[in-house]
């Protein structure tokens, strides 16, 4: 049985999104969700869930390099709780240390003067790959 997941790279202005499945262990970036102070348009989130029918939701947990919570970590935890509460899907937090740096490397260095709008969703892809490589339950 194939496990389908949606991953979210939490941010206060936009939330990166990606879909993935266990058959290949890979993810596909989706358009980032604009948000206001970390709160997305929940109808857009509902539409993603309706389209992809995930069995699990992943949320990146922005930890400090020493493993302690960053300033955004508590907000990411609240976002994960809201996802679970609103949609009744299981949610798993995934350590996302260095995912944004790796996402920028994968996309190339073409946006030196600003931020590449694809970075957040590429970071969500990396969450999916990490999940299937390191922590996915057996189907």
Give domain 4-14+34-135's CATH superfamily: YqgF/RNase H-like domain (3.30.420.140)
Tens of pLDDT along the chain (139 residues) come to 788 999 999 988 899 999 999 888 889 999 999 999 889 999 999 999 999 999 999 999 988 778 788 888 999 999 999 999 999 999 999 887 666 666 566 666 555 544 656 778 888 888 998 899 886 544 3
Q: Do residues 15 and 44 lie in contact, with contact meaning Cβ atoms separated by under 8 Å?
A: no
Cα separation, 47 vs 45, in Å, equals 5
Helix (H, G, I), strand (E, B) or coil at 105: helix
Domain extents in the chain: 4-14+34-135
Q: Give the chain's radius of gyration (CA, Å).
A: 14
**Which has the closest alpha carbon to 27: 58, 50, 1?**
58
What is this structure's pTM?
A: 0.84
Which secondary-structure segment (H or E) carries 20? strand 14-21
Q: Do residues 119 and 104 lie in contact, with contact meaning Cβ atoms separated by under 8 Å?
A: yes
Cα separation, 27 vs 18, in Å, equals 6
Ramachandran sector of residue 130 (left: φ over 0; alpha: ψ -120 to 50; beta: rest)? alpha
């Amino acid at each position: 049985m194939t496990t389908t997941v949606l991953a979210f790279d939490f941010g206060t202005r936009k939330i990166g999104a990606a879909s993935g499945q266990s058959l290949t262990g890979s993810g596909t970036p989706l358009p980032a969700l604009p948000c206001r102070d970390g709160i997305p348009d929940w109808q857009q989130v509902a539409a993603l869930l309706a389209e992809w029918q995930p069995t699990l939701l992943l949320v990146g947990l922005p930890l400090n390099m020493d493993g302690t919570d960053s300033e955004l970590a508590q907000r990411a935890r609240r976002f994960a709780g809201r996802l679970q509460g609103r949609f009744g899907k299981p949610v798993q937090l995934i350590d996302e240390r260095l995912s944004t740096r790796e996402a920028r490397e994968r996309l190339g260095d073409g946006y030196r003067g600003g931020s590449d709008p694809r970075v957040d969703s590429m970071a969500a892809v990396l969450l999916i790959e990490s999940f299937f490589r390191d922590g996915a339950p057996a189907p």
